[in-house]
Amino acid sequence: MAYRNKTYVCFDADEDMLYYNLMKAWKENEKFAFNFHNAHEINNLRDGSSETTIKQKLRERLADTKVLVILIGEKTKNLYKYVRWEIEYAIEKGIPIIAVNLNKLKSMDNKLCPPLLKDKLAMHIAFGQKIMDFALNNWPSQHTTERAKGKTWSFHYPDKIYDEL
């Protein structure tokens, strides 16, 4: 079994690349505490690869994944080829999921959340460096606890957590 320490980021690469790049910048800037070990650094994908090849490479990345971060933008819920597949795979494998609302909503966004995630165990948070770092450091163990209790619904942090960060 692989050592799982990576963060896999699932997002709309056409619309939301800016947010993913910002996460990478936070990681590189020593002025920010950001616990982000990027799974996308494993086995680069090439343009023109077949869907089968791409999904095999994504499976390899997900094998080392400790947590799946979904950047939820305006069009994320409509992406089926890879985003939906990545979410389904994470759910099937029991990988903790952090759903990050790019519109800064602090709980599940019923309008934008991908439908298959709405009744699944996941932490829903607003996009922001401090709350994302907090979730990356805390949600995986909380997910394990909640899953052991049989919980299968969405969670979010109270305003107090945001205020204290």
CA 74 vs CA 22, 50, 62, 102: distances in Å: 18, 27, 25, 8
Per-residue pLDDT of the chain (165 residues; tens, 9 = 90+): 455 678 889 999 899 999 999 999 999 998 988 877 765 555 565 556 676 766 676 677 677 789 999 999 999 999 877 889 889 999 999 999 999 999 999 999 999 999 999 999 999 999 999 999 999 999 999 999 999 999 999 999 999 999 999
Residues 15, 74 contacting (CB under 8 angstroms): yes
Number of neighbouring beta carbons within 10 Å of residue 72: 28
DSSP-based three-state secondary structure for 122: strand
Provide the whole-model pTM.
0.89
Tell me if 107 sits within 8 A of 156, measured CB to CB: yes
Domain boundaries, the chain: 6-164
Q: Rounded to a whole number, what is the largest CA-CA distance in the chain?
A: 47
Given strand 154-156, what is the order of strands in its sheet? 6-10, 65-72, 97-101, 122-126, 154-156
Q: Could you confirm whether domain 6-164 is CATH 3.40.50.11200?
A: yes
